[in-house]
A and B are shown apart, each in its own frame.
Chain A
Amino acid sequence: METLVYKRPESLLKDGHFTFCPGCGHGVVLRMIAELIDEFNIQKDTIAISSVGCSIFLEKFFNLDVAGASHGRSPCVATGVKRCKPDKFVFTYQGDGDAATIGFNETIHTASRGEHITTIMINNTNFGMTGGQASATTLVGQVTTTTPMGRKPELTGYPLHAAEIVSKCDGTAYCARVAITTPAQIRKAKAALKKAFEVQLNGLGYGFVEVLAACPTNWHMTPVDSLNHIENVIEKVHPLGVFKDITGEQ
Chain B
Amino acid sequence: MAKVLVKGNEAIAQAAINAGCQCYFGYPITPQSEIGEYMGAHLPKMGRVFVTAESELASINMVIGAGTTGAKAMTSSSSCGIALMQESISAMCCAEVPGVIVSVMRGGPGLGNIAPAQADYFQALKGGGNGDYKTLVLSPSTVQEAIDLTYRAFYLALKYRNPVMLLADGILGQMMEPAEFGEYPYEDPDVSTWALDGANNREPRNIVSLHMPEGAMEERTNRLFEKYQAMQENETTYEDFMLKDAKLVITAFGTVGRVAKTAIKKAREAGMKVGLFRPITLFPFPDKALHDVAENADLILDLELNKGQMLLDVRSAVFGACPVEFYGRTAGGLLTPDSIYEKICELYKKIDNKIEAGVN
Contacts and interface: CB of A to CB of B under 8 A. Distances in A.
Interface stretch (A58-66, A135-143, A166-174, A185-193): A58-66
A223 to B, nearest CB: 26
Interface string B186-202: 00000000001111110
B220 to A, nearest CB: 13
A67 B199 contact: no
B204 A62 contact: yes
Nearest to A88: B198
Main secondary structure of the interface of B (DSSP, over half): mixed
A47 B62 contact: no
A106 B56 CA distance: 11
Contact of B51 (A46, A62, A79, A106): A79
B283 to A, nearest CB: 22
B25 interface: yes
Interface stretch (A22-30, A70-78, A176-184): A70-78
- How many interface residues does chain A have, given as a range? 35 or more
A13 B205 CA distance: 12
Contacts of B59: 76
Interface in B52-83: 53-55, 57-59, 61-69, 71, 73
Contacts of A79: 51, 58, 62, 65
Main secondary structure of the interface of A (DSSP, over half): mixed
A72 B67 CA distance: 18
B65 A44 contact: no
Nearest to B72: A84
A83 interface: yes
A70 B91 contact: yes
Contact of B197 (A78, A85, A105): A85
Contacts of B199: 43-44, 63-65
Interface in B190-242: 196-201, 204-210
Nearest to A87: B198
B6 interface: no
Interface in B332-346: none
Contact of B23 (A49, A69, A70, A83): A83
Contact of A76 (B61, B71, B205): B61
A77 B204 contact: no
Contact of A70 (B61, B67, B196, B201): B61
B49 interface: yes
Nearest to B67: A80
Interface of B: 22-23, 25, 49, 51, 53-55, 57-59, 61-69, 71, 73, 87-88, 91, 95, 196-201, 204-210
